[in-house]
Amino acid sequence: MGKVIKEDFTDSSEKLMTLEKKLTNLGYRFTGQRKIVLQALGSDNKLFDADTIFMEVKKIDPSIGISTVYRTLELLSRLKLICRISVGIDKSMYMLSDNCRKDTAVYMICDNCKRVITNNECLNSAIIIRLREGSEKNIFNNCKLKIDKFQIVFSGLCEDCSKSSNSLASLNSYQTETKQ
């Protein structure tokens, strides 16, 4: 799993308490197993696949099985307490819902270092401005669909890898010139 760059961080114990309250208000018990899954999701403020969450959960409580993790992720995503995100790979990724944009989600996956960049203000602003300028009305009128939210995934090079790539290209060009 690659590194994730996020721009908004909050205290994880405060997040956990808020999620406990939301879960119980929806009529569900806040079991120890659900707490451990949420703790695994809250650590490091990043995206996780189910297998990575399972490995984190096993470190805390080895008696919790993978099916419990999958059922918990399904319940929490259905209740919109966590986000299930498809980022162009075969697995779903999960993160706490307060880390997701309510109406939109824009992600960038670096092809080189596999970082997932999310909630980047520059990227979000550029996309949202372009898409919001009458697009919802246009889609509804032309397709008879009501868009509540959307998700966009870009792939390419992050800023660090782009700089490294440019430096490497310059070095290769210099080495080619000196060999001739």
C-alpha closest to that of 79 among 29, 115, 128, 118: 29
Given this model, what pLDDT does residue 4 score? 39
Which CATH fold topology does 4-158 show?
Answer: Arc Repressor Mutant, subunit A (1.10.10)
Q: How far is 106 from 102, CA to CA, in rounded Å?
A: 11
Each domain of the chain, given as residue ranges in start order, spans 4-158
**Residue 34 confidence (pLDDT) above 90:** yes
**Tens digits of per-residue pLDDT, 50-107?**
998 999 999 999 999 999 999 999 999 888 888 887 765 567 888 776 555 555 567 7
Report the mean per-residue pLDDT for the chain.
75
119: left (phi over 0), alpha (psi -120 to 50) or beta: left
Q: How far is 93 from 100, CA to CA, in rounded Å?
A: 12
**Tens digits of per-residue pLDDT, 151-169?**
777 888 888 888 887 655 5
Name the residue with tokens 């949420």.
Answer: 38
How far does Cα 78 stand from its chain's mean position? Answer: 16
pLDDT band at residue 37 using 50, 70 and 90 as cut-offs = very high
Given this model, what pLDDT does residue 7 score? 34
- Residues constituting the chain: 180
Q: How far is 56 from 43, CA to CA, in rounded Å?
A: 9
In the structure encoding, which two tokens stand for residue 76, read together? 């929490």
Q: If you average pLDDT over residues 39-57, what whole number do you get?
A: 81
Q: If you average pLDDT over residues 127-132, what whole number do you get?
A: 64
> With contact defined as beta carbons under 8 Å apart, do 99 and 8 qualify?
yes
pLDDT band at residue 12 using 50, 70 and 90 as cut-offs = low
